[in-house]
Amino acid sequence: MSKLSLEHTLQGHKGRIWGVSWHPKGNAFASCGEDKTIRIWSLSGNTWTTKTILSDGHKRTIREISWSPCGQYLTSASFDGTTAIWSKTSGEFECIATLEGHENEVKSVSWSHSGSLLATCSRDKSVWIWELAGDDEFDCAAVLNSHTQDVKRVVWHPKKEILASASYDNTIKMYAENAADNDWYSTATLESHTSTVWSIDFDADGERLVSCSDDKTLKIWRAYPPGNEEGIFTPDNETVWKCVCTISGEHSRVIYDVSWCKKTGLIATACGDDAIRIFKEDANSQKNEPTFSMITSEDKAHLQDVNAVKWNPSQEGQLISCSDDGTIKLWKFIE
């Protein structure tokens, strides 16, 4: 019997905690919430403590934070319409740049694998791509208006410069840069969810994507590039993403976040029914029709909606979660 064992319960923020993000080394993480602050936590001995509080960057709720792959920069997306870049190069974290341009709430921020590109998305329906131009300089490389509604999440491919976005319009979109004219454009629209797509995550290779939705389902999508052996038609010579698996009946309310562990392949979900669930691909799963089973459900993981779950990128089986109940919890997955 596998289970999630609770290792630590942390408090510090006032009110709802929207996001948590592991430092790439896995020995520190950041959290953010409606109290407009970012807390950076690290382990000393056997205790996680707040090392730094960043409180003067945003005027409204901080929805999501994200570390650069090098671990030197932290970015924060806020309802105040801006994205702040924090740097630790001088020893202390300081805000080195504020990205402006979105018309209203910024919902998500994500770094590309190389650390040279940043993406943000907003309730204004747009996705912006920013290029790191100098030490503290960011240039807007693209404004993408493919979605017809509020964009909830942006996530970069783990190995390529491919961006995925999830929206209130029920779809997921993929973007790439056109080599000929350096213009970013939408290469694919993933349609299958029947309500808001709250979150997405790639698997380790980036050949598959998992998505979670207000429709209470989880979906697995597979990339079929031009010339694929299955003979899936690829119009315009673009990679096609097909929904190859739908997991329904396991979540009783909206699923706010999903995390696909790059080390173990386990999928964790954060649900509005206060539970955290873990899914594993079945041993006899087929490439084009994979099957996944729920192997653990921590029904009362939190006292209120779970807003985010993130697998530790270096410590196998360690999971972090945060909730409307104002707590952050660290879990150990035991097979």
Partner 1 sequence: MTALANPSPVVHEEIEGGGRTCQDKAAEHNEAVEDPIDAWEIFEIIRRIRDPEHPNTLEQLKVVEPSLITVDFSNGRKYVKVMFTPTVPLHCSLTALIGLSISLKLQRSLPQYTKIDVYVTPGTHDQEEQVNKQLNDKERVAAALENKNLLSVVESCMYDYEENC
Minimum distance of partner 1 from residue 94's CB (angstroms): 26
Other Cβ atoms less than 10 A from the Cβ of 291: the count is 14
Minimum distance of partner 1 from residue 109's CB (angstroms): 15
Task: Give CA–CA dist 235/218, Å, rounded.
Answer: 26
Minimum distance of partner 1 from residue 126's CB (angstroms): 16
Q: In the sheet where 138-144 sits, what is the strand order?
A: 106-111, 117-122, 127-132, 138-144
Residues of the shown chain interacting with partner 1 in the complex, contacts defined by CB under 8 A: 16, 34, 60-61, 63, 79, 104-105, 107, 123, 150, 152, 168, 195-196, 214, 253-254, 272, 303-305, 325
Is the CB of 16 or the CB of 332 nearer to partner 1?
A: 16
Task: Give CA–CA dist 103/106, Å, rounded.
Answer: 9
Minimum distance of partner 1 from residue 192's CB (angstroms): 17
Minimum distance of partner 1 from residue 35's CB (angstroms): 12
What is the β-pairing status of strands 17-22 and 28-33? antiparallel
Is the CB of 49 or the CB of 104 nearer to partner 1?
A: 104
- In a 3-state reduction of DSSP, which class is residue 236? helix
Other Cβ atoms less than 10 A from the Cβ of 181: the count is 7
Is residue 322 within 8 A of residue 18, CB to CB? The reply is yes
Is the CB of 94 or the CB of 273 nearer to partner 1?
A: 273
Task: Name residues whose C-beta falls within 8 Å of residue 183's C-beta, 6 or more positions apart in sequence.
Answer: 142, 177
Minimum distance of partner 1 from residue 281's CB (angstroms): 30
Is the CB of 168 or the CB of 311 nearer to partner 1?
A: 168
Is the CB of 177 or the CB of 214 nearer to partner 1?
A: 214
Is the CB of 187 or the CB of 211 nearer to partner 1?
A: 211
Is residue 143 within 8 A of residue 126, CB to CB? The reply is yes
Task: Give CA–CA dist 73/193, Å, rounded.
Answer: 34
